[in-house]
Amino acid sequence: MPTLSHFDSDQDRFRLRVVVAAVTVLVCFGLLVWRLFNLQVLRHEELSTRAEANRIAVLPIVPNRGRIVDRNGVVLATNYTAYTLEITPSKVEDLEGTIAGLSTFIDIQARDRKRFKRQLEESKSFESLPIRNRLSDEEVARFIAHRYRFPGVEIKARLFRHYPFGEVGSHLLGYIGRINQAEKLAMEDWDEERQANYRGTEYIGKLGLEQRYEEALHGVTGFEEVETTAGGRAVRRLRSQPPTPGHTLVLSIDIRLQAMVEELFGERRGALVAIDPRNGEVLAFVSKPTFDPNLFVDGIDAENWKELNESIDKPLLNRALRGTYPPGSTYKPFMAMAALNSGKRGPSVIIHDNGSFFFGGHRYGSPENEKGGAMDMRRSIVESSNVYYYTLANEMGVDLIHEQLSPFGFGRRTGIDLEGELTGVLPSTEWKRRVNKRPENKKWYAGETISLGIGQGYNNFTMLQMASALSTLVSGGQRYEPRLVREIESAIDGGRRRVSAAALAPLPLKPEHVAVIRDAMYGVTVAGTSTRVFAGAPYLSGGKTGTAQAVGLKGNAKYSANRMAEHLRDHSLYVAFAPRDEPHIALALIVENAGWGAAAAAPIARRVFDHVLLGLDPSPEDVALTRQGLSAAPVGAQRPASSVPLPRLAGVEPAVPAAPASAAAPRAAPAASAARPARPASSGTTP
């Protein structure tokens, strides 16, 4: 039977439990109130923003890429819309099974699978990747009918880049391609605004003007805010800002001239650069062979890549920009100007040319067809006397030659608006010390100077440098940074901003010295090595042929093209300007391994001048002869340049109707080594 003391003890324990329970309830309630206060008051703005972000999705709208047109408005690069079949790997359980299922009613070839696999390796699993591009309307309809079977697969409308003239001008235009992992990593270093402008962008300029003017061509990315459900499904559009298309690049290039020159080269390798000396605008920028940039837009397949990358002709090498060559006898007018400028030799000084020059027990020869005799400066250029320039180089020395010719741009970048330009080599004693590691190779030997006078030895330049230097010379010293882009046309108001070639400080050339060189080069076309080529021309021009060794000859070995492999034969060069007294065009060109300069290179220059100055293109039979190196002056009836059809691609970009309701909004869609440098010449080269 419980006692009173037991009752009191139980009552005390009960009270304690009530107090503990009450305190616990109060603490929990206090925590709840604090949590509510924290969420509703202290973190209200943060959580409200987060909730709004969960409710609203911001989708980037990629702008249309800007066009590229030539100086006359001919479109060289544009865009078109086409349907693509795309897979989001993270939403697909069986990727191979899905592709196999799709291929039962949509043509998916092996190259499509390879491209998809390559892009899958470079991308994130939640990104949408195309398995087939350019679907027909019938294929789109078939997929829509079977769409329920393929979660994670959808039809999208994308923008594709199109180069309507295919291989014409490919080295200057470049191409666009899918952004790879290395480029994505590089983009992480961009400022926040620039990164934001590339959200949603999958393609970027990879080469040429597409790369150099990427930001101008890209445009400004727009956005669209949409309200979404918890499952991510869009229910309504809240607001949007349309994208601003990329600007249009208006080039200084004349695509008709460009196409004509490329046709005249035929299957031969080489380069040509033509510049307007009055403003630095580039009129033609040719590198042969070329490639079709359209191959790279979707991602080039392995077969085409192998063919381009492993070809002995190196079609991916931009020879005008990155091919360096010994200039041969085309260097002689510059050596003559260096002599006049430095006071080492006047125009009337006579050097007797007996066909040989001896130095240090070594004989430096001249071509067998050289006339020889008493040479003043004019005749030395007209008849291309080697001995005259052997002696001049010996008198000047390598460092004075470097000092005089470096301001013309030899051995340095011209500043053209393309990436990847090589500097070439204008040798000096300091240069040799810098590039050689072994002490015994650092010393400059006097015998190495001799061949420099005729454009051999260590001399190696690009055709861009040669054309720019000639432009400076014949214009009386006026210098420009060459420019391919003439104007940038705004996508907003159509206004055009002039992209002027930067005028550099002019060289202090004396007019009487310039007149001597101009007159001597004019003599080449009327009494020298290119007389037959310019016979009957209704304008006066100046030029200089050159033949440069691709490989050096041992000892006193004689050059014989017939006994040498084609890629070891001499290069054919020509530099020229026209008209003689007020030059509107200066050019430099090389036809690799084609021999004598007057046979292969000079005929192309004549036809360039006829196009620019007379508006005339060669006849079909003349084109055929020039492609084979068998022409001189034009034959047959020349044609008005405007009447010659451009080599447009046979296919045209497909016209695609408005995308179906299930389709998304449109989205924007290797360097080879330079040519072999020549070894120092031990025997003379043909002019």
Q: Helix (H, G, I), strand (E, B), or coil: what is residue 593?
A: coil
101, burial (CB in 10 Å: exposed 0-12, middle 13-18, buried 19+): middle
Q: Residue 396 class from Cβ within 10 Å (0-12 exposed, 13-18 middle, 19+ buried)?
A: buried
Q: Are 670 and 305 in contact (CB under 8 A)?
A: no
Which among 238, 204, 208 is positioned nearest to 223, based on CA atoms? 238
Q: Which residues neighbour 77 within 8 Å (Cβ) at sequence distance 6 or greater?
A: 67, 68, 161, 162, 163, 173, 210
Nearest to 72 by CA among 570, 531, 611, 506: 611
For 273, the token pair is 């650069």
In the chain, how long is the greatest CA-to-CA distance? Answer: 151
Q: In terms of DSSP bridges, do strands 68-69 and 248-251 run parallel, antiparallel, or are they unpaired?
A: parallel
Pairing, β 503-504 against β 616-617: unpaired
Which residue is listed with tokens 């027909």?
A: 136
φ and ψ of 56, to 5 deg? -115, 130
Catalytic sites, residue numbers: 329
Query: Where are the strands (E) in 433-537, listed by range?
Result: 479-480, 485-489, 496-498, 503-504
Q: Is 380:351 a contact under the CB 8 Å cutoff?
A: yes
Q: What is the separation, in whole angstroms, between the first and last Cα of the chain?
A: 137
CA distances from 30 to 20, 24, 37, 38, 47 (A): 15, 10, 10, 12, 22
Beta strands in 88-213 (DSSP E): 129-135, 153-162, 176-178, 203-205
Write the secondary structure of 397-411 as one string of H (helix), E (strand) and C (coil).
Answer: CHHHHHHHHHHHCCC
What is the per-residue DSSP string for 23-52?
HHHHHHHHHHHHHHHIIIIITHHHHHHHHH
Q: Radius of gyration of the chain from Cα atoms?
A: 35
Token reading at 598? 């007057």
Amino acid (1-letter code) at residue 236 = R
DSSP 165: T
State the CB neighbour count (10 A cutoff) for residue 77.
Answer: 26
- CB 185 within 8 Å of CB 22: no
If residue 86 lies in a helix (H) or strand (E), which one and from where to where?
strand 75-87
Q: What's the rounded Cα separation, in Å, for the pair 644 and 641?
A: 6
Torsion of CA 12, 18, 19, 23, to 10 degrees: 160
Element spanning 250, H or E = strand 248-251
